[in-house]
Structure 1
Amino acid sequence: MYTADTMSSSALFDPLNTSGTGIDESNNKDVERSGLASIEESAGWHRKVKSKLASWDPENEEQWENGHGGHIATRNLLMSIPNISVGFGVWVIWTIVSKSILEVHTADPTLYAFEDWGSPQGDEYKRLVSLLPSVAGLSGATLRVCNTFMTHIVGGRIPNGQNSILLMVPTIMIAWALNSTDTSFSVLLVAAWFTGVGGGAFSSSNNNISTLFPKSQQGYALGFNAGIGNFGVSLTQLFVPLCIGTSFGNQPLAPGLEVWPNHAGWVWWPVALLAAIGTYMWMSDLPEHGNHKGNNELWNTIYFYCLHAQGLLGGAVGVLFLIATRNSAFFYTSEAVQIAHKFLAVLLTCVAEHLILWYVSPPIVREGVRKQGEMFRDKHTWIMTFIYIMSFSCFIGYAATFPKLIEFAYGKAREWGCTDRQGVFTVGGAEDDCLDHGGTWTKEVIDNPDAPNPFSYAWIGAGVGSLIRPVGGMAADAWGGANCTMVLTLWLAAASMWLGSLLKRTITLDHPEDTFALFVFLSLNVFVSAGGINGTSFRTIGVLYDTKLAGPVLGWSSAMGSYGAYIFPELFDIAIESNSPEKTFYGLACYYLICAGLNWWYYVRPQAERRGV
């Protein structure tokens, strides 16, 4: 790492740190001419002219404790969190917006008819609208791949700020496009494609934060960045439905319908603007990052957009595949084929993105990717990615599915009543009176009058899971990431098995709401354990690798975990359509146990290769 005592000016513009030298900070004039800021100059909250540090070594206790290092790292963490919150909040917005579009169209089929796509009806319309959250999920996961390499190429400050600026585009598009019920579905697809920027931002942010903190505080720093940042999911699930359901002086789109989908677009863009401003005022770049054309910020920004364009292009491959196959009869022949369809979309997208990065990128970007590509030769990269997929995919995937499961399991009830000669069913009454009037006394499935409102509870699970991530990280700092991961993974598997069993019984009950309290309790157990593993696995990665590779491995594993976050809701959708959600829970529990086995073998058992990480 760079230290104030050992650096020479030859390393100022060496983005890959090939010289192994640094800056002599004792020569203040050289530091001033270089455009870099000393540790002392970068401390505090004043507006800095110079945003790039002249030296940085978080493992240097004197610099960390007495030289303002800890203050600078914490300030960067506090500026990173709002950007991640915006990213997550915008990324998952389509799970709510798509439902509101369906609600409006169901009330009046002439509204949001999407004539440019042939005015689909029934299941075909539902499949079309369901593309929106799928496109956002797939795009976000793919953009995480390019964000994996972003920090070392352009620094941490520009990705944080520019990602928030970019996210203003899809939010304004949502507000503008959905303001008209004759809007084009193609415009909504482009907006969903761009919201993937929010999902991708997570990789570059965590990569950057991991380089700012010592190994002893990796769990704390990454847990807070990911956990509090991930709270954006809960904020979206809480505030977006409120805004969609508030008129703000507008007339109803259909008689008796109090839903305005376009209001969702106004929730996040002011926050995104403030987050971007804060980033450019108070975040710092490390000396070894983004040294292009003499540390030129314009060139770093150009490389940022170059990488993002490649990520969006890779994501477009999967998006086009989903569009082309959305009504293919072949991909709906069985549950297994439907699942294979989702995995095939991920495979095509991931392969396309990596080919673009390796063969289409500008030379300086390609060289940065190649240097960090050595992580793929380490088996622990693949093991920790497999484990991280478990935690993040379960957390964010179940957060997206949670309201849908509530509606599926508790939205219907079974009541006795009378079916008259015209086939009209009336709940209740007396059996004898029904028969005397020529009716048939039957038990029918009806809308449950006591059903819980899914969106009244949807935000709770994601919120609890987000807040527990820093707790998991700090516990990992104290007792070891792998040890904590072991306990939490077994806890997650047990809760998932119990949830599957409960849902299998619940959907057969006349009054399913009787099991709702237990359902919420078990779901919170899933969120707590998955969120905790998220924090503990971050700490393990931070300790397993040196600073040069820890960030890229964090970015790569989070990218693959994000693909899982796209797959998990799709798995639940398929299971719900077949009326057997327990299958997904049982299958995932088996996956969790495999992760527990890998974690025990490589990191926990007495003879483990990297015990105690």
Structure 2
Amino acid sequence: MADLKKWDVEDPKFWESEGKKIANRNLWISIPSLLCGFAVWLYWGIITVQMLNLGFPFAKSELFTLMAIAGLTGATLRIPSSFFIRLCGGRNTIFFTTALLMIPAFGAGMALQDKNTPLWVFQLLALLSGLGGGNFASSMSNISFFFPKKQQGLALGLNAGLGNFGVTTMQIIVPLFMTFGAFGAMGGDPMTLVSSSGTLIGKIEAGSDTWIQNAGFVWLLLLVPLAFAGWFLMNNIKTPEVSPDIGNPVSSFAKITFMLLIGFITAIFGLWLMLPESANGSGFGVPKEVVLVLVIASTVFLLKALPGEIGTSLKRQYKIFNNKHTWVMSVIYTMTFGSFIGFAAAFPLAIKVIFGYSHVMVDGVMTHDTINPNGPSALMYAWMGPFIGALIRPVGGWISDKVGGALVTQICSVIMVASALGVAHYMKAAYASASPEEFFVPFFILFLVLFAATGIGNGSTFRTIAMVFPKEQAGPVLGWTSAVAAYGAFYIPKVFGEQIKATTPEYALIGFAIFYGVCVFINWWFYLRKSGEFYNP
């Protein structure tokens, strides 16, 4: 049942008689598994807001590091995860990587029950949450083998698009589950809010009980049945083109564990170089940009150095690095998906820090720690941005099929420049005001425009990659660019944290707007010049 020895989906007779049913079954177990991966990866964006609402004894900049840690690890783990399916099989990979998510989910539920839990425990759990970010690469790779070429677009679009909805699902479910003792006595005692919180339904006043630990425990309700479904209902395709020699399941789990460890080690080293001593780092203060390059390069090098089939398989796939368009598309996809995932991670805490506090002069010094009773609830609004970005993503691909991917990307880039500068303007005004809520509506609307532009751009850049690269390179390029762009989930919260500490949050958005402006030029130069190698792919 688990292993398919014959798999020829390009044969219409085979596809209709047995292939379609098997492929759809695997797809509909893959989608919720990936959704849970995104949720566990990015739930620190919501958890940290509630930690502030409960008065956990951490600085705001330290809480931003939790999202940055999860972001860096999740993106780094995408690099080894790109190669799991060939080496370990689809069923083995999806079952094992989904089951691993139970560790950070259960751990977060336990650690959040005590305000005295030290910062390093939360940092370790944020690191393990990165497993959810890595799962995207293996999940997309797996589903691509189950469907014929003419249906791959839809299948991959469903897997990626509904998987991305994990961010929105999490931002709705977690605040709701924190309002009641869902797990009874087994779920621990509630804590009392010291500042107001909220859910999709409305605001929750200070003094109310909240069960913050449910933010971790709730995912076990999905992860446990999904692990069983993955094991008993998914398949390994044991054909020469897909997973020819995967051995037994235990050896597959060992390979996955070993390759994930390489990603964890390089991510931990990068984080140690960058973080201050107060946040359990080296205190060397190595710039985050240098850390990114070091982490990516060392992960790629260590994987390539592995002996046997792993190293051989990677050497063949590393040919994509000789193509200049791999690097061009990495930059452009970082602008779209990197922004989407980074803003999704940072948006809730940014709303809380900028609008949840009154910014008032005390003895001639501007202070930012007076709770604003009229501030909007981050947990009530934050889900809307990622929801719009994920919902509109397929529209980007559909429009690009009609008018060309590069043109759509160009329009999105210009909109992103303008909306980022608009957000920066209102951020600056709010962060200098005793009543920042006056600036919330234009800030929020412009941020939603920014999310929408990233979503459409995600769809258009995928279309451009499909047109620019030969078939045998398009798959690895999609995997590589998605790994590089996922570092947005590390970089954007890190920049927000630094600029909030420096009391200039608007600089973060101005910096992003400058990057988007550079992308406008790069996209035009390579894909919209009449004399270029490609025109509007």
Q: TM-score, normalised by structure 2?
A: 0.85
Counterpart residue number, 1:195: 129
Say if 2:68 and 2:493, in contact at 8 Å, map to a contact too.
no
CA distance in 1 between partners of 2:416 and 2:307 (Å): 43
Counterpart residue number, 1:27: none
Say if 1:157 and 1:284, in contact at 8 Å, map to a contact too.
yes
Say if 2:49 and 2:352, in contact at 8 Å, map to a contact too.
no
Give the C-alpha shift of residue 73 in structure 1: 4.4
1:370 to 306, 315, 321: 315
Q: Does 1:316 align with 2:301?
A: no
Counterpart residue number, 1:600: 524
Check 1:380–1:284 CA distance in 2 against 1; reply closer, same or farther (3 A cut).
farther
Counterpart residue number, 1:13: none
Check 1:129–1:500 CA distance in 2 against 1; reply closer, same or farther (3 A cut).
closer
Give the C-alpha shift of residue 547 in structure 1: 4.0
Give the C-alpha shift of residue 304 in structure 1: 2.3
Give the C-alpha shift of residue 134 in structure 1: 2.6
Say if 2:95 and 2:230, in contact at 8 Å, map to a contact too.
yes
Counterpart residue number, 2:481: 557
Counterpart residue number, 1:482: 406
CA distance in 2 between partners of 1:87 and 1:328 (Å): 26
Q: How does 1:539-558 map to 2 (within 5 A)?
A: 539-558=463-482
Cα deviation per residue 1:9-62 (whole Å; 9 max; x = unaligned)?
xxxxxxxxxxxxxxxxxxxxxxxxxxxxxxxxxxxxxxxx1442523355x6x4
Q: Does 1:305 align with 2:257?
A: yes
CA distance in 1 between partners of 2:370 and 2:9 (Å): 64
Q: How does 1:336-485 map to 2 (within 5 A)?
A: 341-359=287-305, 361-413=306-358, 447-485=371-409
Give the C-alpha shift of residue 217 in structure 1: 5.3
Counterpart residue number, 1:55: 7
Q: Does 1:571 align with 2:495?
A: yes
Instruction: Give the aligned residue type for 1:597.
Output: F
Counterpart residue number, 1:135: 69
CA distance in 1 between partners of 2:473 and 2:278 (Å): 39
Give the C-alpha shift of residue 607 in structure 1: 2.7
CA distance in 2 between partners of 1:53 and 1:526 (Å): 46
Instruction: Give the aligned residue type for 2:8.
Output: W
CA distance in 2 between partners of 1:213 and 1:598 (Å): 34
Check 1:477–1:72 CA distance in 2 against 1; reply closer, same or farther (3 A cut).
farther
Instruction: Give the aligned residue type for 2:163.
Output: G
Check 1:324–1:412 CA distance in 2 against 1; reply closer, same or farther (3 A cut).
closer
Say if 1:413 and 1:445, in contact at 8 Å, map to a contact too.
yes
Say if 1:154 and 1:291, in contact at 8 Å, map to a contact too.
no
CA distance in 2 between partners of 1:599 and 1:219 (Å): 23
Say if 2:273 and 2:281, in contact at 8 Å, map to a contact too.
no
1:289 to 209, 234, 242: 242
Counterpart residue number, 2:203: none
1:96 to 35, 46, 59: 46
Give the C-alpha shift of residue 218 in structure 1: 5.3
Counterpart residue number, 1:429: none
CA distance in 1 between partners of 2:208 and 2:435 (Å): 28
Give the C-alpha shift of residue 140 in structure 1: 0.9
Which deviates the most, 450-459 or 487-496? 487-496
Check 1:307–1:478 CA distance in 2 against 1; reply closer, same or farther (3 A cut).
farther
Instruction: Give the aligned residue type for 2:450.
Output: V
CA-based RMSD of the aligned residues comes to 3.3
Check 1:247–1:199 CA distance in 2 against 1; reply closer, same or farther (3 A cut).
same
CA distance in 1 between partners of 2:526 and 2:320 (Å): 17
Cα deviation per residue 1:288-312 (whole Å; 9 max; x = unaligned)?
222226x644443332223222222
Q: How does 1:60-209 map to 2 (within 5 A)?
A: 62=12, 66=16, 72-106=22-56, 123=59, 128-183=62-117, 185-209=119-143
Q: How does 1:527-542 map to 2 (within 5 A)?
A: 527-542=451-466
Check 1:174–1:508 CA distance in 2 against 1; reply closer, same or farther (3 A cut).
closer
Check 1:281–1:478 CA distance in 2 against 1; reply closer, same or farther (3 A cut).
farther
Check 1:97–1:411 CA distance in 2 against 1; reply closer, same or farther (3 A cut).
closer
Say if 1:208 and 1:551, in contact at 8 Å, map to a contact too.
no
Cα deviation per residue 1:440-474 (whole Å; 9 max; x = unaligned)?
xxxx9964332211110011111111111222233
Check 1:450–1:208 CA distance in 2 against 1; reply closer, same or farther (3 A cut).
same
2:169 to 226, 235, 241: 235
CA distance in 2 between partners of 1:474 and 1:576 (Å): 38
Say if 1:372 and 1:552, in contact at 8 Å, map to a contact too.
yes
Check 1:152–1:606 CA distance in 2 against 1; reply closer, same or farther (3 A cut).
farther
Q: Does 1:224 align with 2:158?
A: yes
Q: How does 1:21-60 map to 2 (within 5 A)?
A: 49-52=1-4, 54-56=6-8, 58=10
Instruction: Give the aligned residue type for 1:523.
Output: F
CA distance in 2 between partners of 1:346 and 1:328 (Å): 19
Instruction: Give the aligned residue type for 2:77.
Output: L
Check 1:218–1:54 CA distance in 2 against 1; reply closer, same or farther (3 A cut).
closer
The 3-state SS of whatever aligns with 1:261 is: coil
Check 1:499–1:133 CA distance in 2 against 1; reply closer, same or farther (3 A cut).
closer
Which deviates the most, 372-381 or 256-265? 256-265
Check 1:540–1:355 CA distance in 2 against 1; reply closer, same or farther (3 A cut).
same
Say if 1:154 and 1:289, in contact at 8 Å, map to a contact too.
no
The 3-state SS of whatever aligns with 1:236 is: helix
Give the C-alpha shift of residue 542 in structure 1: 3.0
Tell me how many residue pairs correspond in the alignment. Answer: 515
Cα deviation per residue 1:585-604 (whole Å; 9 max; x = unaligned)?
22212211222222222223
Gap runs ≥5 in structure 2: 194-206
The 3-state SS of whatever aligns with 2:487 is: helix
Highest RCO, 1 vs 2 (Cα 8 Å, sep ≥ 6)? 2
Give the C-alpha shift of residue 215 in structure 1: 5.6
Which deviates the most, 501-510 or 194-203? 501-510
Say if 1:403 and 1:458, in contact at 8 Å, map to a contact too.
yes
Check 1:234–1:553 CA distance in 2 against 1; reply closer, same or farther (3 A cut).
same
CA distance in 2 between partners of 1:508 and 1:181 (Å): 31
Say if 1:495 and 1:526, in contact at 8 Å, map to a contact too.
yes
Instruction: Give the aligned residue type for 1:536.
Output: S
The 3-state SS of whatever aligns with 2:486 is: helix
CA distance in 2 between partners of 1:254 and 1:218 (Å): 49
Give the C-alpha shift of residue 196 in structure 1: 0.8
Which deviates the most, 296-305 or 231-240? 296-305
Say if 2:274 and 2:282, in contact at 8 Å, map to a contact too.
no
Check 1:342–1:245 CA distance in 2 against 1; reply closer, same or farther (3 A cut).
farther
Say if 1:245 and 1:260, in contact at 8 Å, map to a contact too.
yes
Identity rate, percent: 33
Say if 1:87 and 1:232, in contact at 8 Å, map to a contact too.
yes
Check 1:156–1:382 CA distance in 2 against 1; reply closer, same or farther (3 A cut).
farther
CA distance in 2 between partners of 1:462 and 1:65 (Å): 35
Gap runs ≥5 in structure 1: 1-48, 110-121, 333-337, 424-443
Instruction: Give the aligned residue type for 1:144.
Output: R
